[in-house]
Structure 1
Amino acid sequence: MSTGTIITGLRHRFRQLNEKPLRDDLIFYFAIIAVASVLFMALPLLTGEAAETDGMHRAWFIVAGTLIVLVQGLITGAVALLAVSLVEHFFLLFVDVHREFEKTMKSAVYALAPLILFSRAVLLGVSFAGLLLLAWFCLSTYFGVWIFHEKSKDRAVFVALATDAILAFYLHRWTVGPWLAL
């Protein structure tokens, strides 16, 4: 599969997503968060790393823990979506955007979804996972700005790189932190 085919496919997919209402995108985003939260709670249980309890205490521990992690994930996901959308929209102001905030939030949904779903790989210490997720975030932001906001490629690159730089600054412990320890 060539790079041109991948870019053409992504551009086509983002154009299809642009026609959907924001409500559908938010449902998708919060479904991703719910799945990631439940997996985050279930993985220690499946690998045997969970606290040693038995009987009804274990069942209540699983139910309560899953609900707490789910609510915490939904709240954190909503705050992250709003924060990234605001940062991206701030940089869009530099390129003279007159579109509504809805398009920016739509772009942030599709840029953040893989980060949330595959963040466990970073926590497990998979090599280069943080950098790969950051690169995917940058590419998704580029396509979101280019397609959703109908900006030129150079302006989309500026917004994507600036937003990615801010995210990399805040997530530096997970992206470049493991190499600083070497």
Structure 2
Amino acid sequence: MSTEISPESAFPGPRRVFQKLNEKPLRDDLIFYFAIVAVASVLFMMLPLLTGETAEIDGLHLIWFLVAGTLIVLVQGLITGAVALLAVSLVEHFFLLFVDVHREFEQTMKSTVYALSPLILFSWAVLLKIPFAGLLFLAWFCLSTFFGVRIFHEKSKDRAVFVALATGVVLAFYLHRAVGI
């Protein structure tokens, strides 16, 4: 009996990962997405504490400020996350119409969930002005969108590249200050 791990099972490629994600229902993907949004929202609230830029509030007022602030930022983050998911999904689906999409909008939302999740979770890097973080995130978004369209919509490489780049250009246009373009 061999205990060796094959390279394919140790490091599955993006194609295999997206194929496994395609088997899951959209509900699980949305739960994952909104969990990421909630974590990122709490991180944004805690960012001033971690960088030492806190307000001069002492004692019990600081606790209430943190609790109320966290709840407000969490609700605001969930609403913004829902709007961002819908907006980017609509843009991606719009470009999919040019390449003759035959899949439902749910497949587009699945693709968008996995393209936006890392951007949302690590967006603090842009706020901390880490060099080229925005461009790196944009490249990651385009690559994730490519695999999402390729697997979830079963499109050819050239059509998936078109949709990924077109959606990335629209996203870069609206977020050009954050991306650094």
**Structure 2 length as normaliser, TM-score?**
0.92
Question: Residues of 1 paired with 2:12 and 2:149: CA distance?
Answer: 16
Question: Residues of 1 paired with 2:19 and 2:127: CA distance?
Answer: 33
Question: Residues of 1 paired with 2:156 and 2:145: CA distance?
Answer: 13
Gaps of 5+ in 1: 1-6, 178-182
Deviations 1:70-114 (A, max 9, x none): 000000000000000000000000000011000000000000001
Q: Which residue of 1 aligns with 2:5?
A: none
Question: Residues of 2 paired with 1:127 and 1:168: CA distance?
Answer: 16
Instruction: After TM superposition, list the pairs within 5 Å mapping 1:6-85 onto structure 2.
Output: 9-85=13-89
Question: Residues of 2 paired with 1:164 and 1:98: CA distance?
Answer: 22
Residue 97 (1) aligns with residue 97 (2) = no
Deviations 1:106-128 (A, max 9, x none): 00000000110111100110000
Which of 119, 126, 130 aligns to 2:130? It is 126
Question: Residues of 2 paired with 1:125 and 1:48: CA distance?
Answer: 16
Gaps of 5+ in 2: 1-10
Secondary structure at the counterpart of residue 127 of structure 1: coil
**Structure 1 length as normaliser, TM-score?**
0.91
**RMSD value over aligned CA atoms?**
1.2
Q: Which runs of 4+ in 1 moved over 2 A?
A: none
User: Given residue 148 of structure 2, which amino acid in structure 1 is its aligned partner?
Assistant: G
Deviations 1:37-94 (A, max 9, x none): 1111112123321111111111100000000000000000000000000000000000
Superposition deviation, residue 8 in structure 1? 6.4
Aligned length: 171
